[in-house]
Amino acid sequence: MNELYHWFDLLGVAVFAISGTLIAHNKSMDGFGVIVLASVTAIGGGTIRDLILDVPVFWVSDTSYIITILVAVALTILWLNHRQSFPNYYLQLADAFGLSFFAIMGARKAIMLEVPDTTVVIMAVMTGCFGGVIRDVLAREIPMLLKGELYAITCIAGATLYTQLIHLNVVDELAMIAGGITILLLRLAALRWKIGIPVFRYSENNNRQ
């Protein structure tokens, strides 16, 4: 089972590395910029999580993560140089799957360390979202989790469900599936129906800026 988790983890890393590469392409970055943006997107959230939890950073002793990033970057570069575009819908769909798995894996790692439930949820959000935050800051964009459709909220909902199911002695794998599906469905619904959390009323001039 741990081997299966690892492969899914690598798939999530690849998805987020592709995301970082696409942003680098849009910003006309050079090769080094592409690698940096892809890497922070793919492993940035998990790195921050492990540093806060004071455990070995997951990719330091496992080169498969770095190799996965490099392969994902290379394939994306080849695709973009050949097609000059990438179907945004498919990227958002893949990102939703990656977000759901990363967040739940972050929650699982935290709960195994027996930290409080609030910390578990925070670690889930960090694992799923903070790589994208670093990416957007470096690319001089407003981070995705701070605007637009529901993003971090989906991680909070899924991680909260996961922790409660664990406390009810539900089998870990079933709790993970339930939490992950919750995140996935909420994210897809938010994308489909443009669901967000608006709190301000903006004039037409504000919307144009």
pLDDT at residue 83 above 90?
no
CB 101 within 8 A of CB 8: yes
Q: Is 72 inside any structural domain?
A: yes
Q: Is 209 inside any structural domain?
A: no
The dihedrals phi and psi of 149, each to the nearest 5 degrees, come to -70, 160
Supply the Cα-derived Rg of the chain in whole angstroms.
Answer: 17
CB 46 within 8 A of CB 59: yes
Q: Is 205 inside any structural domain?
A: no
Q: Rounded to an integer, what distance in angstroms lies between the CA atom of residue 8 and that of residue 19?
A: 17
**How much of the chain, in percent, has pLDDT values that exceed 70?**
96
Determine the pLDDT at residue 90: 76
Q: Tens of pLDDT along 170-195? A: 999 999 999 999 999 999 999 999 99
pLDDT at residue 208 above 60?
no
Per-residue confidence band for 61, with pLDDT thresholds at 50, 70 and 90: very high
Number of domains in the chain: 1
Determine the pLDDT at residue 160: 98
Q: Is 145 inside any structural domain?
A: yes
Determine the pLDDT at residue 202: 67
Per-residue confidence band for 92, with pLDDT thresholds at 50, 70 and 90: confident
**H or E, element range at 19:** helix 2-26
Q: What's the number of CA atoms in the CB half-sphere (13 Å) around residue 38?
A: 29
Q: Is 203 inside any structural domain?
A: no
Query: Which residues, in sequence order, are CB contacts of 77 under 8 Å at separation 6+?
Result: 21, 34
Q: Tens of pLDDT along 94-146? A: 888 889 989 999 999 999 999 999 999 999 999 999 999 999 999 998 888 88
C-alpha angle 128/30/27, rounded to 5°? 60
Q: Residue 59 gets which letter from DSSP?
A: T
Q: Rounded to an integer, what distance in angstroms lies between the CA atom of residue 80 and that of residue 131?
A: 22
Structural domain span for residue 36: 2-196
**How much of the chain, in percent, has pLDDT values that exceed 90?**
72
Q: Is 106 inside any structural domain?
A: yes
Q: Is 202 inside any structural domain?
A: no
Query: Which residues, in sequence order, are CB contacts of 58 under 8 Å at separation 6+?
Result: 43, 46, 47, 50, 65
C-alpha angle 45/49/54, rounded to 5°? 150
Q: Is 204 inside any structural domain?
A: no
